[in-house]
A and B are shown apart, each in its own frame.
Chain A
């Protein structure tokens, strides 16, 4: 009598979507990240005012219906600048993380599949890269090639390569030992196909989680470089640059410093929450309940 009841009580795994909407951090982080992304896309087509247009007559205006978030010392609309700044940050994040994943993940896979010299070389090279903080690398690069968005993105992206190479190698090593991979190797499937068809889908989750976190770090690093004047150059607005300009006006226009900083902090917070949430949702070890209940039957 009790037997069939027990069987029907075995829960199938709760669908990802349902678990996701019950995770407050994931929902909040996802919403913030989506908002920033949409703002960034919108800024490509439309901003309330042109961001490079100076209008000294309307300088340092407070919040109003004409200028929702006021204007800066050149009379530029703060909301428009923040929107374009969002676009700038998202671009930096995408390229820097893309560079890290695009170069780092193949290197990590290669290191996992070819133990020995290649693996050792990749690991030692990434050790070395860890000794160079992103900001110092950027400092070196901008010292020679001059400041600018492209150079700062490259500097931040280079730093991401060892992060993804190490992570990919670490998670691939265990997959490489799995029976289905051994089976594929034994039947003569070419290594590239094994990497793409059998390994990549299984290591995607930790890569996605790490990508979210590195995205946030890239935004922070770019803001720091722009604050120092080494990143995005005027007249193109960026959150870091806006903070730098605002610092001299703290005594009479504190809002100019508060708004761009808050934009950075909220964006990074959103990405971190999203990353933590994804980790909770994608990590099988933390997937609550279902495993225990299954084993008890």
Chain B
């Protein structure tokens, strides 16, 4: 297990390094002069020169890359051009919204999807199965931002139970803040739950056909015990992997959902940074999000290997 973890850790570091290089190439080298991109065509020459100096564009590209990576690792993400504050402060401030939002979405989607998937597998081919899978099929097709708008239409416009968006902040207490994140996290959770339910169902169905399940039944174990203790436990690896993969979609989803509900999170930050052409912020936030995705998938890989010892020996070639 340790050897496997070390190998995966080396792969993680390499992937992160290459990802950073790709982002650097796309954001700093491809545009030619990023300072010109940020300031537009009508920029004053002295403003342009000042920004070039601030971004260190007078230095050679490899040096800039290494400086950026070193600074990033030490937590110094540079100064936002439009907000004129350290990017790390901006990110920390916005993370307070995005992180609870993503966690709530994961919780909600898991709480819905796992029982539904198991239920559908248990009653395979019957009405409950068809119904749950039909709803899941719809859930995959509905864009989360449209679902979000429909939620606003129902709960804010028609029923008047909640506001149509915005975020009160955590200063006035945790409950109102989490309340403001409830509809957005439901909107984010829907497509995730639909996919997760389908994967859970097929994983449980597959396990239910195994010999040891028949043995457990033959021993006289009750249906519930067989299902939960033997089948579900062994079927969890597949949904776990999917949850890891979904994390990247979830982060991407927050970019849209935060804009639907006007939540001051990372997604809205990156969106505003694009509108203002603040490439410094865009670059740092993208790196951070990509690093998060890679790290989460790394953790999932480890968990996966931990639950299934056969994978530790197998090559990384899947």
Contact = CB atoms under 8 A, between A and B. Distances in A.
Interface of A: 123, 127-128, 130-136, 139-145, 216, 220, 223-224, 227-228, 230, 243, 246-247, 250-251, 254, 257-258, 260-261, 264-266, 268-269, 272-273
Given A145-B31, A257-B153, A258-B153, 13 more contacts: A123-B317, A132-B290, A133-B251, A136-B255, A139-B270, A143-B274, A143-B279, A223-B143, A223-B145, A254-B157, A261-B146, A265-B138, A272-B137
Nearest to B22: A128
Given A139-B282, A140-B286, A250 B255 contact: no
Contacts of B143: 220, 223-224, 261, 264-265, 268
B165 to A, nearest CB: 9
B128 interface: no
Contacts of A135: 252, 255-256
A261 B260 CA distance: 14
B279 to A, nearest CB: 6
Contact of B141 (A123, A130, A144, A216): A216
A265 B15 contact: no
Contacts of B150: 257-258, 261
B256 A268 contact: no
B26 A265 contact: no
Interface string B11-48: 00001001100110011001100100100000000000
Given A131-B290, A269-B141, A273-B137, A140 B27 contact: yes
B119 interface: no
B15 A128 contact: yes
Contact of B145 (A123, A243, A254): A243
B256 A131 contact: no
Contacts of B286: 136, 139-140
B149 A133 contact: no
Given A144-B30, A144-B31, A272-B141, A136 B146 contact: no
Given A128-B15, A133-B293, A136-B290, A227 B145 contact: yes
A26 to B, nearest CB: 13
B247 to A, nearest CB: 9
Which one of A131, A134, A135, A254 has the highest number of Cβ atoms from chain B below 10 Å of its Cβ?
A131
A268 B133 CA distance: 16
A247 B152 CA distance: 9
Interface in B245-282: 248-249, 251-252, 255-256, 259-260, 270-271, 273-274, 277, 279, 282
B197 interface: no
A227 B256 contact: yes
B140 interface: yes
Given A228-B259, A247-B149, A265-B146, A132 B19 contact: yes
A114 to B, nearest CB: 15
B142 interface: yes
A136 B273 CA distance: 13
Which one of A140, A220, A230, A261 has the highest number of Cβ atoms from chain B below 10 Å of its Cβ?
A140
B135 to A, nearest CB: 12
B112 interface: no
B294 interface: yes
Contacts of B19: 128, 131-132
Contacts of A258: 150, 153
A142 B34 CA distance: 13
Contacts of A272: 137, 140-141
B57 interface: no
- Shortest beta-carbon contacts, A-B, top 4: A261-B146, A269-B141, A135-B252, A133-B252
B264 to A, nearest CB: 16
Contacts of B282: 139-140, 143
Which one of A127, A251, A266 has the highest number of Cβ atoms from chain B below 10 Å of its Cβ?
A127
Interface string B159-177: 0000010000000000000
A146 to B, nearest CB: 9
A131 B297 contact: yes
Nearest to B21: A128
B27 A269 contact: no
A269 B138 contact: yes
Contacts of B140: 268, 272
Contact of A140 (B26, B146, B271, B293): B26
